[in-house]
Amino acid sequence: MELKTHDKRLKLTNGDFQRLVKARKPKGIEEKSAYLIGTGIASLTAACFLIRDAHMEGNKITFLEQLDIPGGSLDGEYMDTRGYVARGGRETGAHFECLWDIWSSIPSLENPEMSVLDDYFYTNYDDPNYSNCRITHKQGERYDNGKFNLTQDEVKEIAELCMTKDELLEDKAIEDIFSDGLLNSDFWTLWRTMFAFENWHSALEMKLYLNRFIHHVGGLTNLSALRFTRYDQYNSIVKPMVRYLEDHGCKFQYNTKVVDVDFDISENKKV
């Protein structure tokens, strides 16, 4: 069955059958090189896939990172004046298939017999995330009742946003789309504190988040939909991936800021 997609190479497959097959070496991969801008989780993952599935030699892969440490916004370190600081973290859930796929091939730093995915899975299996209360008032008294408390009309507003064309939302804020009732609802408090939204933020971004994380809604009132790494994401994700890439010969060029990219595109080649 052919999918209706921009890329006709995408086909429906039978579960994990095709994913579990080791990829054959692409023709001409020996003549190709990769330069990845930044060392965030996207670049690190791309390089891991190039090595594992595209069979590219690690010494053909170069990272250009403006900082002196890898990880993008996932870095973390102890600072004498501020304590331990981790700049960022990514909320993960049950459907990050590409990330889980590559993590299954990355050895854990603590136990090389386990993968990063194994360590992540058992961390959440042994200690699942759950919050007894999400909203408080009056200096710590519980306010929420574990429900969204939305009216039918407010539910329709959310559904209509999900179905609105992107072009119609490009210059609109969330407060232009949602009613005052919705913006003062428990749902909005629960949502905005989980995803860091303000009323004046982009309505289009809100729509994209709704479509991306709609499967988290059932766990929004208690955060049970979320999964976490054992340590901060720099130590649990970035360091094992960097070790894997360095062991395969990848080059990391730090303190390098990319200010321009030129493309040379011909009929059969792109540089």
DSSP characters over the chain:
-B--SS-TT-B---TTTTTTSPPPPPTTGGG--EEEES-SHHHHHHHHHHHHTS---GGGEEEE-SSSSSSGGG-EEEETTTEEEE-----B-S--HHHHHHHTTSBPSS-TTSBHHHHHHHHHHHS----S-S-EETTTEE---SS----HHHHHHHHHHHHS-GGGTTT-BHHHHS-HHHHTSHHHHHHHHHHT--TTSBHHHHHHHHHHHGGGGGGTTTTTT-B--SS-HIIIIIHHHHHHHHHTT-EEE-S---------B-SS-B-
Annotated catalytic sites, by residue? 91, 209
> What average pLDDT does the segment 37-52 reach?
96
Instruction: Give the residue with greater pLDDT, 14 vs 98.
Output: 98
pLDDT above 90 for 177: yes
**pLDDT, mean over the chain:** 90
pLDDT at 1 over 60: no
Q: What pLDDT, in 10s, does the model give residues 5-41?
A: 666 666 666 667 777 788 899 999 999 999 999 999 9
In the chain the domains, ranked by start, together with CATH numbers, are 32-90+116-128+231-253 (3.50.50.60), 136-219 (no CATH)
Question: Across residues 40-66, what is the average pLDDT?
Answer: 96
- Residue 46 is predicted with a pLDDT of 97
